[in-house]
């Protein structure tokens, strides 16, 4: 299992989702991706994208105007 980080700061919806989608394509099932954003919309959009595509959100945190989502790649 690898854990990667995606810097999606300053990007506005839906770009953080697109970058997440593109990054996940390069990962394997069970790998984890931490996405760091500044658009609060990701707290809704990335989990929705994960549910649609069979990935799992392990943690979503907000603080200091940043939003971090840790997801695990599923079998989509």
Partner 1 sequence: MSKQRKAIALISGGLDSMLAAKTIMEQGIHVEGINFFTGFCVEGHTHAIREKDKAKPKRNNSLWVAEQLGMKLHIVDVIEEYKNVLINPKHGYGAHMNPCLDCKIFMVNKAKQWIVENDFDFIITGEVIGQRPMSQRKATMPIVAKESGADDLLLRPLCAKNLPATLPEREGWVDREKLHDITGRSRKPQIAMAEQFGFDDYSQPAGGCCFLTDKSYSAKLVDLWKSQGHKEYQLDDVMLLKVGRHIRPQPNFKLIVAREEGEGRFLQGYKNEFISMISLSHRGPLVLIDGTPSAEDLYLAAQITARFGQGREAEQVDIDVTMLDGSERTLQVKPIRDEDMPKAWYV
Give which of 20, 7, 13, 21 is closest to 42, Cα–Cα: 13
- CB-side neighbour CA atoms (13 Å) of 50: 24
Our answer to whether residue 37 is catalytic in this structure is: no
* Site track for partner 1 across 20-39, x = CB under 8 A: -x----------------xx
Lay out the sheet containing 56-63: strands in order across.
3-8, 32-37, 66-72, 56-63
Q: Residue 12 interacts with partner 1 (CB under 8 A)?
A: yes
Q: Residue 45 interacts with partner 1 (CB under 8 A)?
A: yes
Instruction: Candidates 15-23, 26-34, 55-63: pick the segment binding partner 1 (CB under 8 A).
Output: 15-23
Which residues of this chain interact with partner 1, rule CB under 8 A? 9-10, 12-15, 17-18, 21, 38-41, 44-45, 48-49, 51-53, 65, 76
């Amino acid at each position: 299992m690898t854990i990667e980080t995606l810097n999606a700061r300053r990007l506005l919806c839906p770009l953080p989702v697109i970058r997440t989608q593109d990054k996940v394509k390069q990962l394997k099932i069970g790998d984890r991706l931490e996405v760091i954003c500044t658009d609060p919309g990701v707290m809704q959009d990335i989990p929705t994208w994960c549910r649609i595509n069979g990935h799992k959100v392990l943690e979503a945190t907000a603080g200091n105007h940043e939003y971090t989502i840790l997801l695990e790649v599923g079998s989509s």
